[in-house]
Structure 1
Amino acid sequence: MSGSVLVTGGTGTLGKLVVPRLRAAGFGVRVLSRTAREAVDGVEYVVGDLETGAGVEDAVKGVDTVLHCAGSAKGDDVKARHLMKAASAAGIGHVVYISVVGADRTPVVSGIDRNMFGYIAAKREAEKIVAESGVPWTTLRATQFHDLLFTLAEGMAKLPVIPVPSGFKAQPVDPAMVADRLVELALGKPAGLVPDLAGPKIYSLKDVIRSYVKATGKRRLFMPMRVPGKAAAAFRSGANLAPDAGAGRTWEDFLATRVG
């Protein structure tokens, strides 16, 4: 065995990929869940809530590493604070955190910024909480997952006219590649902030949505929308991209597998 790992967000898009890879690498795996579940395929499930901190202290007891994959549209800083407090008290040897590319380059300073980009501010704060916790750590920043952009395009395509933020770009990455990297990092020693991970191509957000619309046989009008604020300006300048880190499956390949 390579030790034991607690995975937060183990039932989400990334966590579902991480867990079997950890098992294959020889780890004992425990998954933090808000609801009780029976053990499956050697994976233990423990009840806890990162939003309130309930059950988190018990969840981290007896594990060597924590792989923090839990994330949502808001509150990631609160979740990180509860997790790292428990990890510090338990003497955890390594916490691996997944963040987003641009967390350090996207200023979120106004109400407008926070409405659209508050999740990035929370990610940046979570990074600081992890780094300043006293627990040995590794943080990986990744660009937008294919699945996230697919969900975004799917939702926007329900509108007869699709508003698209002008100048926004995306560099979608295959979450399976991110999962591989996270397991590799979990196997290694704490490394601090490691190089970004991103998909192989950069697209305008309009092209991402338009390709989904075309692939699903729909017809839609597109309306450019100028988003105000410093965070939006950072996105237009490419703060959420990592041009030198591109690899893996393209958006076109992913789209073809999802919609045929």
Structure 2
Amino acid sequence: MGRALVTGASSGIGAATALLLARRGFELGLGYRGDADGAKRVATAVEAEGRRAVTFQLDHTEPEAAAAAVDHAAERLGGLDAFVNNAGINHRAAFLDETLADWRHMLAVDLTGPFACAQAAARRMAAQGGGGRIVNVSSVHDEIPIWGGSSYCAAKGGLTMLTKVMALELAQHGITVNAVSPGETATPMNGVPAGTDAADLRRPSIPVGRPGRAREVAALIAYLLEPDAAYLTGQSLTIDGGLTLMSAIPNQKDGGGSQ
């Protein structure tokens, strides 16, 4: 039985990942920032699968405290085998209009906080021995620009490159590190009400014609935690319904989308 922490686990991709991991035998630590009720609902669903669930609060704008929260949650679980670095925010502003305050906030939440949390998780894994798995949830916009995405793209691009450095340095400890880069996903963070089926949302700019489902992204994350994925590290795996095949789309003001 494995022990996994998932940040941003109160809804969307994080919640879907936690539920899938519970079904695959993991005990779960569920990180949330403000939605305590959502985290409790996910914890109840995890426990319904016969697995232990603990919730913990963290705020990436306070990276030292967030890292400490990750470490404490791992201690409550009795150790840590997998860490899904999922929490983040979305933001759009034209480059000429972007403010330094918003720029700093975006990098704090989508890059500095995830760095601190991943470092805390990796330190615990290295100290306990036996290896581990880390998955950073990035975005197709870690490489593909989008209108109004100067701070978002910079943060996600940094997270994906951080993934590669982590993989290089942590391999000696038996820890694999990969990134999952979703395209538009039907989640509350993207303004889609919970319970909405992505098939009901028409997206002509995406080859498959719709946004992704949170559970589809969760399935890819879960694969990276499987024993048979042990030889895969330092990679960024895109799951976007073919969006990145459409080279003109990310440059349109209303095109693209992200996790």
Instruction: Give the TM bin, normalised by the shorter chain.
Output: 0.5 to 0.7
Corresponding pairs, count? 191
Residues 22-37 of structure 1: matches in 2 within 5 Å?
22-34=21-33
Paired residue for 2:141, among 87, 102, 127?
Answer: 102
Cross-structure match for 2:179 = 139
Aligned AA (1:32): G
Give the deviation of 1:95 after TM superposition. Answer: 0.5
Aligned residues of 2:186 and 2:214 also touching (Cα < 8 A): yes
Cross-structure match for 2:251 = 235
Aligned residues of 2:134 and 2:178 also touching (Cα < 8 A): yes
Give the deviation of 1:45 after TM superposition. Answer: 1.2
Q: CA RMSD in A?
A: 3.5
Higher alpha-carbon Rg? 1
1:78 paired with 2:131, answer no
In structure 2, distance between residues paired with 1:118 and 1:140:
19
Give the deviation of 1:145 after TM superposition. Answer: 0.7
Aligned residues of 2:11 and 2:188 also touching (Cα < 8 A): no
1:191 paired with 2:191, answer no
Paired residue for 2:70, among 33, 56, 65?
Answer: 56
Give the deviation of 1:78 after TM superposition. Answer: 1.4
- Evaluate the alpha carbon distance shift between residue 152 and residue 46 of structure 1 in structure 2; reply closer, same or farther with a 3 A threshold: closer
Which shifted more, 57-66 or 117-126?
57-66
SS in 2 for 1:82: helix
Cross-structure match for 1:17 = 16
Give the deviation of 1:150 after TM superposition. Answer: 6.8
Instruction: State the TM-score, normalized to the length of structure 2.
Output: 0.61
Aligned residues of 1:60 and 1:86 also touching (Cα < 8 A): no
Cross-structure match for 2:86 = 69
- Evaluate the alpha carbon distance shift between residue 50 and residue 59 of structure 1 in structure 2; reply closer, same or farther with a 3 A threshold: farther
- Evaluate the alpha carbon distance shift between residue 18 and residue 46 of structure 1 in structure 2; reply closer, same or farther with a 3 A threshold: same
Structure 1 gaps, min length 5 = 154-167, 205-231, 242-260
In structure 2, distance between residues paired with 1:47 and 1:31:
8
SS in 2 for 1:14: helix
Cross-structure match for 1:177 = 216
Paired residue for 1:125, among 158, 174, 191?
Answer: 158
Cross-structure match for 1:221 = none
- Evaluate the alpha carbon distance shift between residue 48 and residue 195 of structure 1 in structure 2; reply closer, same or farther with a 3 A threshold: closer
- Evaluate the alpha carbon distance shift between residue 152 and residue 117 of structure 1 in structure 2; reply closer, same or farther with a 3 A threshold: farther
Aligned residues of 2:179 and 2:236 also touching (Cα < 8 A): yes
Give the deviation of 1:80 after TM superposition. Answer: 1.6
Aligned AA (2:134): V
SS in 2 for 1:196: strand
Q: Which runs of 4+ in 1 moved over 6 A?
A: 35-38
In structure 2, distance between residues paired with 1:117 and 1:233:
16
In structure 2, distance between residues paired with 1:81 and 1:30:
18
Larger helix percent: 2
Larger strand percent: 1
